[in-house]
Chains A and B, each alone.
Chain A
Amino acid sequence: ETGVTQSPTHLIKTRGQQVTLRCSSQSGHNTVSWYQQALGQGPQFIFQYYREEENGRGNFPPRFSGLQFPNYSSELNVNALELDDSALYLCASSLVQGLNTEAFFGQGTRLTVV
């Protein structure tokens, strides 16, 4: 079974630009969650997609948006980048089945905004 893969691994963008990060979920998983991990902090929940619909959102502005595709892969889009958006972005996939689920994380995309 393949794991969660994210691309790219590193990215440098200029303030005001837009960025798209990609995540391929683990085989058989139907749910993808995105987290932002600023340097020296714990990950913060951005949003989750379940069967192509947004299924919960954390305290992030609308310029953070996402998509989930029929094959359950996902994109995170961030518009109008700000310096504070510099962080490690983590994708986690899981199979939501009953109450006992486990999230598997990718290696993350390191975004630097200059």
Chain B
Amino acid sequence: AQSVTQLGSHVSVSEGALVLLRCNYSSSVPPYLFWYVQYPNQGLQLLLKYTSAATLVKGINGFEAEFKKSETSFHLTKPSAHMSDAAEYFCAVSVAAGNKLTFGGGTRVLVKP
């Protein structure tokens, strides 16, 4: 079975500062890893995904994540936070085609002006 741990349920950053959201996974087989964003009262939007190609993955809205097998991590970063980045972010893992996703508990990002 696979699992995902997101360290920090809430993160507060200043506009223009680095955003770093942490995700660690557990999987007995090579995983597929995803980051999703959820705005209030909305569904999930895919930010980026890792599917065993390049370990540094670039996504939408300036986000990127690096897959580190030795650390079983897939942390999400953005060099400069924007007010529109305020949302909840979910890391997810899948171990087979078909995207039966296992999600972490989420990290809510607050961006201060």
Nearest CB in chain B: distance from A48 CB, A: 6
The 3 closest A-B pairs by CB, nearest first: A42-B103, A105-B43, A105-B44
Interface size on A, residues (CB 8 A): 31
Q: Chain B's nearest CB lies how many Å from the CB of A55? A: 7
Give A91's nearest chain B residue, CB to CB.
B43
Segment 87-105 of B: residues with Cβ below 8 Å from A = 90, 92, 97-105
The segment from A14-22, A60-68, A78-86, A95-103 found at the interface with B is A95-103
- CB proximity to A under 8 Å, residues B23-65: 32, 36, 41-46, 49, 51
Q: With the chains together, A14 CA to B4 CA distance in Å?
A: 34
A106 to B41, alpha carbons, bound, how many Å? 11
Q: Which residues of B contact A41 (CB under 8 A)?
A: 105-106
Whether A101 lies near B43 (C-beta < 8 A) is: no
| Closest chain A CB from B93 CB (angstroms) | 11
Which one of B41, B51, B99 contacts A94 once the chains associate, using CB atoms below 8 Å? Answer: B99
Task: Name B residues whose Cβ lies closer than 8 Å to a Cβ of A.
Answer: 4, 32, 36, 41-46, 49, 51, 90, 92, 97-106
Closest chain-A Cβ to B90's Cβ sits at a distance in Å of 5
CB within 8 A of B97: which of A43, A96, A108? A96
- Are A103 and B99 in contact, with the CB atoms below 8 A? yes
B98 touches A96 (CB 8 A): yes
A4 CA to B42 CA, complexed, in Å: 12
Give A106's nearest chain B residue, CB to CB.
B43
